[in-house]
Amino acid sequence: MGFEEEYQTFLNAHLQARTGERLRRLQEGHKHAEMLFLKQVWWPLFHHFRYLHPEYEVNDFKDGKRYLDFAYIRPTIQISLEIDGYGPHLQKISRWQFSDSLERQNQLVIDGWTVIRFSYDQVKEKPRRCQQIIQQVNGRWLGDDLDQTTLSLVEKEVLRLAIRSGEAISPIEVEKYLKLSGKTVRKVLSQLVDKKMLIPASGTVRVRSYRLGDQIRHFDLINRGKNYP
């Protein structure tokens, strides 16, 4: 399915599963900025919304509740994704409110969350940079999942390098990273292209760089079913 259809399925599933304050927060809190993040940043990377929860409720450090724009949750992984607009409410924020906001974020980190924040302008104007940041953060668990595949050790290490980089990698970079000959590196890169794990990013007769292919960017080695909500 395309983005629009998958997005509506994702959102409707969460709406139907919620009641009370959790439902109200999703109805009122999930707006244009959050939708744009999914469309321009998340969807081009993964082509699915598995493990992603909009307006996710967590316990506040003041014994209340707070809501994260998005929570990405898998075993041992908790990532809070926040999209911050620059509006009048931020310009008028008091010193105490500013301190409170920092304390809330610190508490999330203490509770085991990785906190990633983007401005609305970043999502709108620099979506590729946002994708690279998410790719680098997700590289920690994606790199672990690679160990469950039948790829060779060298192939796994090349993919980990590409994941951490978030950009196209060159054969020379791989040679230096793995301390292997150019001939061996080009053979491994060719194998990964054949497996659709990498695709040529520049060059025709002689490829000068490679980037992650759909097989690695969109795959999920643990669970290929939806988890909505």
What pLDDT digit, counting tens, does each position of 188-199 carry?
Answer: 999 999 988 899
What pLDDT digit, counting tens, does each position of 98-130 carry?
Answer: 777 777 888 888 888 999 999 999 999 999 999
pLDDT at position 142, please? 60
Output b/e per residue, 129-160; b: 16+ Cβ within 10 A.
ebbeebbebbbebbbeebeeeebeebbebbbb
Evaluate if residue 222 carries a pLDDT over 50: no
Q: What is the largest CA-CA distance in the chain?
A: 62
pLDDT at position 89, please? 52
Q: Residues 96, 78: contact at Cβ < 8 Å? A: no
Mean pLDDT of 68-79: 86
pLDDT at position 96, please? 67
Residue 52 has, within 13 A of its CA and on its CB side, a CA count of 23
Q: State how far the Cα of 155 lies from the Cα of 187, in Å rounded to an integer.
A: 10
What pLDDT digit, counting tens, does each position of 143-157 carry?
Answer: 566 666 788 989 988
Considering the chain, what percentage of its residues have pLDDT values greater than 70? 81
User: Is the pTM for the entire model greater than 0.75?
Assistant: no
CA nearest to 116, candidates 80, 68, 66: 80
Tell me which of 178 and 164 has the higher pLDDT: 178
Edge-first strand listing for the sheet containing 65-74: 52-59, 65-74, 77-84, 114-119
